[in-house]
Amino acid sequence: MPAGRAVVTGIGSCLPPDVVTNDDLSRVLDTSHDWVFSRTGIARRHVVGPGTSTGDLGTAAGAAALESAGRRGCDLVLLVTTTPDQPCPATAPQIAARLGMTGVPAFDLSAVCSGFVYGLDVASAMIGSGRYDSVLLIGAETYSTIIDPTDRNTAVLFGDGAAAVVLERGTAGDPGEVLHAELGSDGGRSELITVPGGGSRAPHPVVDEASRYFQMVGKEVYTRAVETMTRSARGVAEAVGWPLEQIDAFVGHQANARILRAVGRRLGVPTERIVCHLAEVGNTAAASIPLALAWAAGQDRLAAGDRVLLTAFGGGLTWGSVALRWPGVTPVRAEVGLPGAPVAVGEGRPARPVVG
Ligand code: UT7
């Protein structure tokens, strides 16, 4: 197979229909809309109902991305998530089967909130090496299943959702080209963001109930996120020769609007070029960057050829940035289907697509 450049050719998303507002949370927690909105930029978040899984959202988003790309399948399915349907097996093969792609390689990748930039780099390398012609890359999360609903420090921050892109082999200069990526990690500070129980170090049934839940040292993560995302994004922009004031869209991991503004200020990216989707969806971890991209494209804030700079920081610790040219695709939104059910991508159409 000839080597080539990875090019984004489709994007799709899926948000579960149920919405929880800050006011809803303030009725059950010692918090308020004003506190949450002023500290984070979050006003509401979507959450799954009982029985709906990350795989259900990821399948719908994957179908929507295939529809957007005008394809019925891909050579490889890669799911980035921290909230798989179960510890074993991986969720990606089930998504592949539900989308009619039984037989193709499929695996999960875990890099918490940096999952999508990690996935983009891996998918681009797979295509660039000449091994695969097309990859369906899905970011999907259901943090509502790992959040302690009584912990105001975390319960106000996260939401559920999924978004996906199709990457295909193209040539240098094509709209949608993934130009450069840089990734990093520091496992020495893994305790800053963790779900301590349920793995091999503290298997179920967990002794300490709190260890079932997501825990974060918010203040320290905030400081490190600002420093690391600034350094990482600057490095990638320099590597591709983009002056930062000429970035068309800066799409940072959507954890906190104050973090996005602080990073944008340090980089010198004009405020109106910072994409912030937090008010509607909160922090959706590995799904946050593709959800923000799909939303911005649906608002006509992204045009073909735009210089797009992605950057993320999250548990692991992990971080990374990617520079790409926007492909000028039409995003497709899908509604979540029946739990576990196959999703037909007949003639490139997912179940109940909504364009926009
Ligand atoms: O997704 C991975 C990456 N994640 C991030 O990047 C998140 C990074 N961290 C953050 O975004 C922020 O640190 C938070 C939004 C999590 C917290 O904001 P903060 O400005 O750092 O607040 P804080 O943790 O310093 O808390 C300030 C006060 C505390 O009260 P005292 O000790 O000053 O009396 C908290 O107990 O706010 C209190 N507080 C709340 N009050 C109302 C904490 N959570 C809440 C809440 N409602 N939900």
336 vs 228 pLDDT, higher one:
228
The mean pLDDT of 152-168, rounded to a whole number, is 98
**Secondary structure class of 261 (helix, strand, coil):** helix
* Cα-based angle 76, 130, 65 (whole degrees, multiple of 5): 35
- pLDDT for res 70: 96
- Distance, in Å, from the CA atom of 279 to the CA atom of 298, rounded to the nearest integer, reads 16
Would you place residue 343 in the very low, low, confident or very high pLDDT band (cuts 50, 70, 90)? confident
Given this model, what pLDDT does residue 2 score?
56
Per the confidence metrics, is the pTM higher than 0.75? yes
Instruction: Please check the confidence at residue 144 and state whether its pLDDT lies above 80.
Output: yes
Domains of the chain: 1-342 (3.40.47.10)
Across the range 55-68, mean pLDDT stands at 97
Residue 126's nearest CA partner among 299, 266, 6 is 6
Q: What is the pLDDT of residue 11?
A: 98
In this structure, the residues whose C-beta lies within 6 A of any atom of ligand 1 are 31, 35-36, 39-40, 113, 152-153, 156, 193, 218-219, 221-222, 225, 255-256, 259, 283, 314
pLDDT above 70 coverage of the chain, percent:
96
* Mean pLDDT calculated for residue range 207-230: 95
Q: Is a pLDDT exceeding 70 seen at residue 1?
A: no
Asked if the model's pLDDT at residue 3 lies above 80, the reply is no
Instruction: Give, as one character, the DSSP assignment of residue 157.
Output: T
**pLDDT score of 348:** 40
**22 Cα–ligand 1 center, Å:** 15
- What are the residue numbers of the active site? 113, 253, 283
SS3 306: coil
Q: Provide the pLDDT confidence category of residue 355 given band limits of 50, 70 and 90.
A: very low
Confidence of residue 111 (pLDDT cuts 50, 70, 90): very high
Summary mean pLDDT of the chain: 94
